[in-house]
Each structure stands twice: as C-alpha cells, then as structure tokens.
Amino acid sequence: MTRPTVPSPDGRVADQLRFLLEVDALKGVLRQSYVLDGSRRENSAEHSWHAALFALVLAEHAAEPVDPSRVIAMLVVHDLVEVDAGDTYVYDDAAQATRAARERVAANRVFGLLPADQGPRLRALWEEFEAGVTADARFANAMDRLAPILLNFVNDGRTWRQHGVTVGKVRARNANVGAAAPALGEVVASIVEDAMDRGWIREDEGEPCP
C-alpha cells in the first residue's frame, strides 16, 4: 500500500515532515525491558522519552556540569537508528559485535532524510552520544542505562532471569551510571545486590558473588 504524500508547498518542510513520519516506526521497535506493570515490552520510542525525562529530573546529580537541553536532545535522537537497525539487547554479546556497523548504515539513511543543514546537526548529537566522551554524553549514556535497570528491577528481574544474565555483566554494563552520577550509581549497586539476594541475577561461572 502506497502512503499518500503530505502536501507541502515548501521542499524543506516536506523533508522535515517526511523524516518525522519515518521515525514514527520507532514506536514499533520492541526492547527487552517491560513497562512498569509488566503487561508488555516497551518500545524504543517510549524508552527514549523516558530516558530524556530521567535526564530532566536527575541532572542535578551529574558528577560534572551538564547542559540538560543537550542531554535531552541526545536521548531523543540516540535510538532513531533503530528504525532500520532494530534494538540490540545490551547483554547479547554477538549482536553487540555488529551493532556499531549496522547503526552507522542506518544513521546514513535516517539523518539523510533531513535538509542538508539540519541532518548533520542531529547526527552530530548521535555521534557524540555514541562516543561518550563529553560530560553531556556521559550523563546521557548513564540515563540510557538507569531507566531500564529500574524497570527490570520492579518487574522482579524478569529480563535478567529470562536471559540468564550474570552479575558481572550487569555491573560492567551499568558502571557508567556511577561514573556520571555517583549518587545514582549507589542506587544501581543496591539494586544489583538486592537482585542477587533474590536470585534474579546468576553468579558468574567459576567466581562466586561476594
């Protein structure tokens, strides 16, 4: 079925609207995390919104000065590439090995839909988030990890249990939260300890949990 073209007398507006409609597909990209009531898996658009709200509310806890508006902008665009590349589960090592290449191809197409002076600006935010070397990007990445770990915990470690995730992986993949916001890192550490006590996270093979 061919979609009707949105009428616009201005080519720039037409390109912008085409981009905005194209990324609506993010609402159909399912993640592993479940929504709060556990009734269904969340989609990537919901995750992006939630992570951006985390940044807005929790920016005061950043270890370094950050610009909340830039952090929020990064979090709004950071998953747009999943329209083409899909969501890559953070604990799936095989999929993670190909993620960067798949997402770069997706970025070329998705950001390329925008006008020539606008697409590169949004792509630069995506690149900054991926590199994770600025204070804003470090905090954005921390919020990207904090949102799902909280949802997973309140759902009785459902995703960890389903995938047999080990404590070493959970600690390693969420270490950036404590580095970017020590107070929030303490929350993550407490969550991990509690989840271990409840048997929701497996011990690493050959190395008992402390």
**Domain segments of the chain: what residues?**
12-197
What's the pTM value of the predicted model, to 2 decimals? 0.92
What is the mean pLDDT of the segment spanning 151-157? 97
Find out whether 33 and 47 touch, Cβ atoms under 8 Å.
yes
Which tens digit of pLDDT belongs to each residue from 168-195? 999 999 999 999 999 999 999 999 999 9
Query: pLDDT value at position 6?
Result: 77
Residues 6+ apart with CB under 8 A from 68: 55, 56, 59
- Rounded distance, CA 139 to CA 153, Å? 21
- Burial (Cβ within 10 Å: 0-12, 13-18, ≥19) of residue 78: buried
What is the average pLDDT across 46-62?
98
Class of domain 12-197: mainly alpha
- pLDDT tens figures, 79-121: 999 999 999 999 999 999 999 999 999 999 999 999 999 999 9
